[in-house]
Amino acid sequence: MTDAPEPLVGDTLADRYRLIAQVGQGGMARVFRADDTALGRTVAVKVLRPGVEGVAGAPERARSEVTLLASLNHPSLVTLFDAHLTGSPEYLVMEFVDGPTLSSRIAEGPLPPAEVAALAAELAEALHVVHASGVVHRDMKPSNVLLAPPHLPGGRPRAKLADFGIALLLDSARLTTPGTIIGTAAYLAPEQVQGGDPAPPADVYALGLVLLEALTGERAYPHTDGVGAALARLTTPPTIPDALGPAWTSLLSRMTATRPEERPTALAVVE
């Protein structure tokens, strides 16, 4: 049986989602801005790349996880609307956020501490909702944080966490190799580097690195190639500049503690 060709701009999926433009891509998927012709709204369609083991062995499990993810609701979570995880192509339909990523904003320079504090509260609150539902994000990084335009003139953007739980879906339904590490090397927690199962403290660690990067404009672990670079964080905590002040240094030091049990919960970060 031959797989269907990869969708292109101009194609319509399920007689409903008309692909308008490709707006992003990664190793696992391509993301399109699309028109939902049934409801007359703009959506984001993440088309999973072919060549990764499919979900034929666990369709019920995949559907149950999609149901869980679609039930999560928070202003700082990108909402999952629909999913097609059997047959070809496989894709997810999500809320479209017409704004830049946090990574592109950081590329312009460090963010003001007050703005980072607001982002921290929004993202930690979103993680709390995710964790309370038994989901671990697994890939918290600046490029997965979208900055939605403010509703009021002069307002600041709201942080929206994208791809929450999508790594969980991909890992459980598609990637069946034991010990597969899901996540981006620069933001992996020490226990993930050691091959441990992802848990909420790993998301808190990654959020700590994201906030540190937003405050300084630089990655805490810029060199991520090779086993040695990854193992270095097992013994070397990130450098947190004293110039950030005692409140930030205290919070970020606890969030990025090497031992997961020493980190605060996402809710504690909000508080």
Q: Which two tokens stand for residue 222?
A: 């810029």
> Which is nearest to 62 in space by CA: 179, 183, 174?
174
Active site residue 203: no
Dist CA 50 CA 46 (whole Å): 12
Q: Which helix (H) or strand (E) covers residue 65, if one does?
A: helix 59-71
SS3 string, 206-264, reads HHHHHHHHHHHCCCCCCCCCHHHHHHHCCCCCCCCCHHHCHHHHHHHHHHCCCCHHHCC
Q: Which of 11, 36, 98, 139 is catalytic?
A: 139
Is 63 buried (19+), middle (13-18) or exposed (0-12) by CB count in 10 A? middle
* Dihedral, 19, 107, 187, 62 alpha carbons, nearest 10: -10
- Can you list the positions of beta strands (E) in 85-190? 91-95, 145-148, 158-161
Catalytic residues: 139
